[in-house]
Amino acid sequence: MSNMFISTTKFKSSIQLLADTGLDVTKKLCRAVAVQIIEDKKLVDVIPKEKLDQMTTGDTTPARFSELHGFLMYVFRHAAYHGVKPETLSAHLQTADVEESAAKIISGVYGQAVGDITEHLRQWTIEANPTAIDISWQTGIELSSTTQERAMESVALLTFSTDEGDRTVSMDIDTLRALKSQLDVAKRQMERVVQG
């Protein structure tokens, strides 16, 4: 996995914000983010409003706090999704100019929660999407959709059988090639997660 945190300007500003935030606030916010993901709660349900108000004083305005919160949510979810180990997460963060002490706090809290976060994300994925039972295909020919051109096009008809019923999708050869390429990427990512 390439360095996943420095690809946008938004993350660079979040990293600077992290540097300006006290380590105690960073640790509390990391713990809150972990609980928030695992229990699927709003931040105010994890940290009472009066505690949030105490954390958003001085330079840490509510807007800056919200940006930092969003960044940490991204880090935890992204790392768990890709099966990143805590020590690897710490190294990625440090490569992205996160101070070592903050990177260790983030990766430490992540390490304690990653099993539960991964399980929650897995369960959410199962519940949010139908489960594929079978896939069948056949080739066919369609008339062009434009009235000026009555050419015939080769198509593949893919039928996805899921626990919610069947769905047939028609695609031309270019779309089928793009799907194959995307499935190859998904397969490699899944193999990396399984291998750890």
DSSP string of 171-194, one letter each residue? E-HHHHHHHHHHHHHHHHHHHHHH
73-83 per-position pLDDT tens digit: 999 988 998 88
The answer to whether position 81 is within a domain reads yes
Q: Domain check: are 108 and 139 in the same one? A: no
Residue type, 133: I
- As a whole number, mean pLDDT of residues 43-66 equals 77
108 token code pair: 């430490």
Residue 145: the pLDDT is: 61
* Whether residue 117 sits in one domain with residue 55: yes
91 and 142 co-located in one domain: no
Q: Is residue 2 part of a domain?
A: no
The answer to whether residue 72 is domain-embedded is: yes
Among candidate residues 88, 108, 127, the one where a domain is terminated: 127
Assess whether pLDDT exceeds 70 at residue 46: yes
Q: Are residues 49 and 136 in the same domain?
A: no
Pairing of strands 165-171, 132-143: unpaired
Give mean pLDDT, residues 56-79. Answer: 83
84 strand-pairing partners:
none
Instruction: Give me the pLDDT at residue 34, please.
Output: 94
Mark whether 98 and 150 lie in a shared domain. no
For 122-135, what is the mean pLDDT?
A: 79
- 89 and 62, same structural domain? yes
By CB atoms closer than 10 A (0-12, 13-18, 19+), residue 59 is exposed
Which residue has better confidence, 105 or 137?
Answer: 105
Q: Which structural domain range is residue 190 located in?
A: 132-195
The verdict on residue 4 lying in a domain is no
Inform me whether the pLDDT recorded for 127 exceeds 80: no
Together in a domain, 161 and 114: no
Point out the domain boundary residue: 77, 110, 127: 127
| Residue ending a domain, choose from 83, 98, 127 | 127
Range 158-165, long-range pairs (CB < 8 A, 24+ positions): 159/135, 160/132, 160/134, 160/135, 161/132, 161/133, 161/134, 161/135, 161/136, 162/130, 162/131, 162/132, 162/133, 163/130, 163/131, 163/133, 164/130
Does residue 117 surpass a pLDDT of 90? yes
Query: Is the pLDDT reported for residue 8 higher than 50?
Result: no
The whole-angstrom distance between residue 110's C-alpha and the CA centroid of its chain comes to 15
The pLDDT-based confidence of 1 (bands split at 50, 70, 90) is: very low
Total of domains in the chain = 2
